[in-house]
Chain A
Amino acid sequence: MKTPLALAITAAALALSTAATAQEPQRGGTIDTIIQPEPPGLVLGMIQNAPTRTVAGNIYEGLLRYTTDLEPMPQLAESWEVSDDGRTYTFHLREDVTWHDGEPFTADDVVFSADVFHRELNPSARAVLQHVESIEATDDHTVVFTLTEPFGPFLISFEAGTFTMVPEHLYAGTDFRNNEHNDHPIGTGPFKFANWERGTVIELVKNDDYYEEGLPYLDGVNWHVIPDGGSRAVAFENGTIDVLPSGTVENFDIPRLSAMDNVCMTEEGHEYFSPFAMLWMNNREGPTADKRFRQAVMYAMDREFAKDVLWNGLGNVPLSAFGSNARFQHDDLEPYDHNPERARELLDEMGYDGEEITILPLPYGETWTRWAEAVQQNLREVGINVSTQATDVGGWNQRLGDWDYDLAFTYLYQYGDPALGISRTYLSDNIAKGSPWNNVEGYENERVDELFNAAATAFPDEEREALYLEVQEILHEDVPVGWLMELGFPTLYRCDVKNLVTSGVGVNDGFKDAWLDR
């Protein structure tokens, strides 16, 4: 029921939003931003790390883009169809697209990129391509992907960073890694590569022939390389830098910087990655092998405190294994609230004898160290005998790879779909020594394996949802790992930079729509 007040508010909000959209974008201007650390190269698909994705996502494009709700938007493909059996995907490409060197972009480029380039170089694209039986160009602007069986996350795999389109006419038949064009990337995107002064700046300039009418508004984007975190914060403070992509300043500087005049902050633009902080718990041995102990750890931790105090209130405390940006999230589970009483009961019930366990913090800086201290204190307060072991990154990788730990901090990307970013943590055939990124905790549950495997290839989405809801109930009860937080990765920018974050990967492809109100 709407009250007059609510009506008034709605009306006001509508008026405001029309006012905002009515503002005419201005052309021109160059944005100075930060890239941290300096990427090793700019050819997407060949190089997968985060800084490469951030810069090159504005040079290269994928077939699709994704909204902040991870719904597909047209990019190089202007429309697409999925067959009724979920096995055939037909993409209709735009016909007015040219590469930065003037050559037209055609279906052959798509087939080459997917079938040759990514199959050879790109492990994350390969994981998707293993479900693909054939890729065919039926005409110059139509590509058909035929899958061996339905694969739920297929349509979310076409993000530029994961599945970029590379020019066939420059790469076909060459040694990809030593191709001369690697130093001067040629894409289809809104910005062209101009210049790279190693250790100083990467300059992108406007693509005047860009196919989307009127875009981009900016004349260019300069990505500055400033190795010291304090200096990056100062560069933003004194106005040299307009945009700080997430992760470029230390967490503890964010409250100070975001409180400055004319500084805006958004938490949007990381939905595709949606980093999920977890506590590995060794399911193989020691007290952590007991489900009740793991539940006690969940009840003992004050996760809201960690969010408010350590992460400046940004982020989200998850209910269970699926984060809020994951599809098919179960929202009707009993939350593991901070409940030391319940934790003590569970420990009594299992007869915990005070055996000492250790915590391995993530050696990624101050915030993670403080977080481990807070969790250690939380656990001590319910009577768990716990101590912390400090390591460096190498030691942390090795200890996790060797399963030599009790509790350990980590965070993982979710990549928009449970079959890409979540199931890998719980599937028993993903248990293998030597990697800190697989099923490190050693959780084995046949039913969970069945459900995850069935859900990845089920079709349509309603079928998948039922399977994923059941799996979440089992995981919620078993607590194979501790679910700490979905991290907020805020982007800070001057408020006169408009329309910066328009997709689920934020500034990685956001400068296309951005404009300066100066």
Chain B
Amino acid sequence: MSFFARFAQNRGALVGLVILLLMIAMAVLAPVLFPESPWRMVQRPFLPPFSQEGFLLGTDTMGRNVAAGLMHGAWVSLLIGLVSTCVALLIGVPLGAIAGYYGGLVDDALMRFTEFFQTIPNFALAIVLVAIMQPSVTSIVLAIAIVSWPPVARLVRAEFMSLRNREYVEAARLVGQSNSTIILRQILPNTLSPIIVLASLMVATAILLESALSFLGLGDPNVMSWGYMIGAARTVIRQAWWLSFFPGLAILLTVLALNLVGEGLDDALNPKLSRER
């Protein structure tokens, strides 16, 4: 059974994939459909949704087009989700691999270091980091990466510990392959499937983290993101529900989609573990 067929067996995952593709399409098409800046004040403020042509989702407190903000925001949210996950993997995977492969003192040292990060509440640390570095896309990506790599390191370490004494690793050692070659060429490829599944869930968490930071006013003040839209609309929620509803819905759908896709990937990559259907 092909990879995709296994993936598609999970109906939820298929739905998730479709939603995710839609979000990506939104992000990619944003500059085509709304070439003007989403910050531009284009109509009178507080226009309700579906009330005027060209402003399908209405306008916000300053007369900016909500639909334009939503589409440009998709780009920001997905970009930050993906990039920060990649950065987190770049930190977590090598640390976990080295700790798991070498064991002993190296493992102890690296794991204590990891625990140091794990004991601080994620969100609190992210707020502090962004506040210190000044809110910008770069600082937000870094902050999210710094708070989300420890689980990766833990996972990779566990995988490496279980694989490092397998026969094919010992064979590689016998033929004189160096440690780095063994780590990169022999073991790492065999740990990829749990990493991919974890990564897909991390993208979802990263999007939530970014939204929460922007909601608190710690987003990059120069880019329109979903969290910012909700944060700015919070104060007028009694007058204008649509300002928080649509970006909220977008966040909900995207995070849900990523979780569903992650589950589908899990089924597809680990067919033996997958539940009976």
Contacts and interface: CB of A to CB of B under 8 A. Distances in A.
A and B interact physically = yes
Contact of A252 (B37, B40, B63, B236): B236
B62 interface: yes
A475 interface: no
B131 A392 contact: yes
B238 interface: yes
B79 to A, nearest CB: 18
B45 A252 contact: no
A381 B40 CA distance: 9
Nearest to B231: A366
Contacts of B131: 392
A230 to B, nearest CB: 9
A261 to B, nearest CB: 17
B233 to A, nearest CB: 10
Contact of B222 (A250, A256, A387): A387
B147 to A, nearest CB: 20
A9 interface: no
B217 interface: yes
B28 to A, nearest CB: 23
A389 B134 contact: yes
Contact of A390 (B39, B61, B135): B135
A388 B221 contact: yes
A391 B217 CA distance: 10
Interface string B224-240: 00000000100110110
Interface in A348-392: 361, 366, 369-370, 372-374, 376-377, 380-381, 387-392
A309 B63 contact: yes
A250 B63 contact: no
B88 interface: no
Nearest to A389: B134
Contact of B41 (A305, A369, A389, A390): A305
Given A252-B235, A256-B239, A374 B134 contact: no
Given A377-B39, A377-B41, A380-B37, A390 B218 contact: yes
Contacts of A366: 232, 235
A377 B217 contact: no
A256 B238 contact: yes
A256 B134 CA distance: 35
Given A376-B39, A377-B37, A377-B40, A390 B239 contact: no
Contacts of B61: 252, 309, 370
Contacts of B239: 256
Contacts of A374: 41, 62
Nearest to A361: B221
Nearest to A230: B235
B62 A390 contact: no
A374 B218 CA distance: 18
A289 interface: no
A46 interface: no
A205 interface: no
A369 B217 CA distance: 9
Given A252-B235, A256-B238, A366-B235, A373 B62 contact: yes
A377 B40 CA distance: 6
A147 interface: no
Contacts of B41: 305, 309, 374, 377
A310 interface: yes
Given A252-B236, A366-B232, A390 B37 contact: no
Interface string B101-137: 0000000000000000000000000000001001100
Interface string B16-44: 00000000000000000000010111000
A38 to B, nearest CB: 23
Nearest to A373: B39
A370 B238 contact: no
A309 B232 CA distance: 14
A310 B131 CA distance: 26
Contacts of B63: 309
B235 A309 contact: no
B221 A389 contact: yes
A390 B217 contact: yes
Given A252-B236, A256-B238, A309 B45 contact: yes
Nearest to A377: B39
A394 to B, nearest CB: 11
A390 B232 contact: no
A260 to B, nearest CB: 13
B40 to A, nearest CB: 6
Contacts of A372: 221
B52 to A, nearest CB: 17
Contacts of A388: 221-222
Interface string B58-70: 0001110000000
B32 to A, nearest CB: 20
Contacts of B62: 309-310, 370, 373-374
A372 B232 CA distance: 13
A423 to B, nearest CB: 33
Contacts of B221: 361, 369, 372-373, 387-390
Contacts of B236: 252
A381 B39 CA distance: 11
A387 B220 CA distance: 10
Nearest to B238: A256
A376 B63 CA distance: 15
B68 to A, nearest CB: 13
Interface in B189-247: 217-218, 221-222, 232, 235-236, 238-239
Interface string A103-128: 00000000000000000000000000
Interface string A307-339: 001100000000000000000000000000000
Q: Which 3 A-B pairs give the minimum distances between C-beta atoms?
A: A388-B221, A377-B39, A390-B221
Interface of B: 37, 39-41, 45, 61-63, 131, 134-135, 217-218, 221-222, 232, 235-236, 238-239
Given A377-B41, A388-B221, A390-B218, 12 more contacts: A252-B236, A309-B45, A309-B61, A369-B221, A370-B62, A373-B39, A377-B37, A377-B39, A387-B221, A389-B221, A390-B135, A390-B217
Interface of A: 250, 252, 256, 305, 309-310, 361, 366, 369-370, 372-374, 376-377, 380-381, 387-392
6 contacts: A252-B235, A366-B232, A373-B221, A388-B221, A389-B221, A390-B217
